[in-house]
A and B are shown apart, each in its own frame.
Chain A
């Protein structure tokens, strides 16, 4: 029986299990980091009671979430309500299959459409958030979902347009090959030739992952918690985990496209990749605790009046240079 199972299927199975473990572990690390960074920026210690330096705090949080009762609000569509967190986390597992962590640590090396795979599957998250907001039968949740749609639809355009110059320059969608094509020193990375595209990509990634200052769908001060207001226990926990997983994906793509992937000074390898991803994640957290939340009109104006024209000009210039 075992001989009849093709090896690629086994590779996918093992890869998915590894990805799940990676996401879970990263969730713990990032929750701890987020709270510590927030603490340092606001001149308070952050978590420090549970374990040395509060290191066991995320585990305690996780246990609390798992132990809580799963509660379905009255009048909600229970099927859609519980489907939403699953739709939110499932696509992100697929995305990790295409991420090249290192020259030997990649699940699929010859995935010719890796970049499009990630872009396509991250787009499904919007749908999950809408379903959550709609199925909750709660006006705050519905408002959060409506905001999420207009935000995501708007920011998808500059996101795609800021990725395209790199595709023009490298001529491939394969993330492994894009990493291979960059040298080990920072001036050999694509960020040196495409700094504008990198900045715009990062801004759009913040908006697409609903991170502050673009966290309007879950604005705590006005919508209580936005689309996940009604979720308790692991319903909320899964949304949270998915958000962190999408952040990792966004930072990984930024690393591969603009920061040279696993290439780094001295010895190249997956350690450089993870270092860069974590540096970008720390920058995201730094932004969150530094900038106030933008207003909705500011958010859309920034996208339609600045980012889209800038990316189009950048794309045209790149196309011209590549053609010459």
Chain B
């Protein structure tokens, strides 16, 4: 049972890594998006492993079902065939910088997580959706409302920018 859990965990991590590298290295934008979707799916799977199926499904519903579809729409508006500027081979220097840039947050965050890790339990317990809702609306109501305010501002900003562009033409 424990071995099976390890296989599933590392399977997910491998899946996420493959997706991530596909996103960065793919020559066509749509393939890169597919890699991104793979990563998002892998992260959703990790939520399931941590016995948080609600969060995992929300990840799929929002990021895979909505956000990546909108990204797809944006890609279709551009004429993004492979063979553009991004498809040129990269120099070794850029490559090293990219790897260092990618590793930096992982190292800092990883160290913080390892140092302050809470004691783990073998079988995680599932939090009820009702409890989640109460958490969001009672002790965490201020951040919850602030996030929705942030989204409203972002949307209003997008609308204003869109209308300004139209006037210039």
Q: Which A residues have a C-beta under 8 Å from some C-beta of B?
A: 4, 6, 77, 79-80, 83, 112-113, 116-117, 119-121, 123-124, 126-127, 130-131, 134-135, 142, 145-146, 149-150, 152-153, 156, 171, 173
Contact = CB atoms under 8 A, between A and B. Distances in A.
B159 to A, nearest CB: 15
A131 B69 contact: no
Given A113-B53, A120-B61, A173 B129 contact: yes
14 contacts: A4-B4, A79-B31, A113-B57, A116-B57, A120-B57, A121-B60, A123-B66, A127-B65, A130-B69, A130-B72, A130-B76, A134-B30, A134-B72, A146-B73
Contact of A127 (B4, B72, B75, B126): B72
Interface in B13-56: 28, 30-31, 34, 37, 53-54
Given A120-B60, A120-B61, 14 more contacts: A4-B4, A77-B31, A112-B129, A113-B129, A123-B61, A124-B64, A126-B65, A127-B64, A127-B68, A131-B34, A134-B72, A142-B76, A149-B76, A152-B69
A135 B1 CA distance: 41
A112 B69 contact: no
Size range of the chain B interface in the assembly: 20 to 34
Nearest to B65: A123
A4 B58 contact: no
A127 B129 contact: no
B58 A123 contact: no
Provide the main secondary structure of the chain B interface: helix
A79 B30 CA distance: 11
A250 B141 CA distance: 34
B70 interface: yes
Contacts, number: 78
Contacts of A131: 30, 34
Given A6-B4, A116-B61, A135 B30 contact: yes
A121 B70 CA distance: 17
Nearest to A171: B130
Contact of A123 (B1, B64, B128): B64
B81 to A, nearest CB: 9
B72 A149 contact: yes
Given A113-B57, A113-B129, A146-B73, A6 B66 contact: no
Interface of B: 1, 4, 28, 30-31, 34, 37, 53-54, 57-58, 60-61, 64-66, 68-70, 72-73, 75-76, 126, 128-130
Contacts of B65: 120, 123-124, 126-127, 156
Nearest to A112: B129
B23 to A, nearest CB: 15
B133 to A, nearest CB: 10
A176 B37 CA distance: 31
Contacts of A135: 30
Contacts of A112: 53-54, 126, 128-129
Nearest to A137: B81
B57 A117 contact: yes
Contact of A156 (B54, B58, B66, B126): B66
A92 to B, nearest CB: 14
A124 B76 contact: no
Which 9 pairs show the lowest CB-CB distances between chains A and B?
A123-B65, A120-B61, A120-B60, A120-B57, A116-B57, A130-B72, A113-B53, A149-B73, A126-B69
* Candidate in A124, A142, A145, A150 with the most chain B CB atoms within 10 angstroms: A124
B157 to A, nearest CB: 20
A264 B37 CA distance: 42
* Candidate in B58, B64, B126 with the most chain A CB atoms within 10 angstroms: B64
Contact of A113 (B30, B54, B66, B69): B54
A118 to B, nearest CB: 10
A280 B168 CA distance: 51
A134 B29 CA distance: 11
Nearest to A142: B76
A130 B66 CA distance: 13
